[in-house]
Amino acid sequence: MQRAHANYRHHEQEQQHKRKKDIQAAEACVPLCVLEMDNKFALSKEQYANWLYLIDKTNANNALAEFCENTSCDALRELLCAICSKLFLYEHLTTIDTREVYLPLLEIDKYFEESFMGIDFTYGHPYIDNSSYKILLDRDSFVKSNTSNSENSFNL
């Protein structure tokens, strides 16, 4: 019973508050939504009255350094994936040894093989060239290997 009474009182208070707003809007000769927008604007104006202030030099320098770091050529550099030819940010690109790639997954479907008649499927890497698979890779995306071993001249 007390709970029902409390809910009823809460409902009555809400109704009374709505009626007060309606009366205020009528007295101001504006729609209720306009009055509510005006009230929100006045509140925002009060909250941000002293908004324009000098920024601490340390914070400014830190923000500038962070901006420069996040917009540097290295941070924004994109590279092509040799396998799928999609552009990826340098930080999200992974270089793998060519011998770790399961080549049959990259082989051209026999149905499309005639479409690629004029393409040279030799890449200058013994692991790929000595396989019997016709593989399409983006030559511009090969990453030179740090080793002097001719068996592994580039990575993907």
| pLDDT tens digits along 136-152 | 776 666 666 555 555 55
Pairing mode, strands 78-80 and 154-155: unpaired
Helix 2-28 vs helix 32-47: angle between axes, to the nearest 10 degrees?
90
Give the domain ranges of the chain.
2-53, 76-155
pLDDT confidence of residue 146:
56
As given in the structure block, the two tokens for residue 88 are: 């990826």
pLDDT confidence of residue 126:
79
pLDDT confidence of residue 59:
92
pLDDT confidence of residue 93:
73
Is the Cα torsion angle 13, 14, 15, 19 positive or negative in sign? positive
- Check pLDDT > 90 for residue 66: yes
29: left (phi over 0), alpha (psi -120 to 50) or beta: left
pLDDT confidence of residue 102:
80
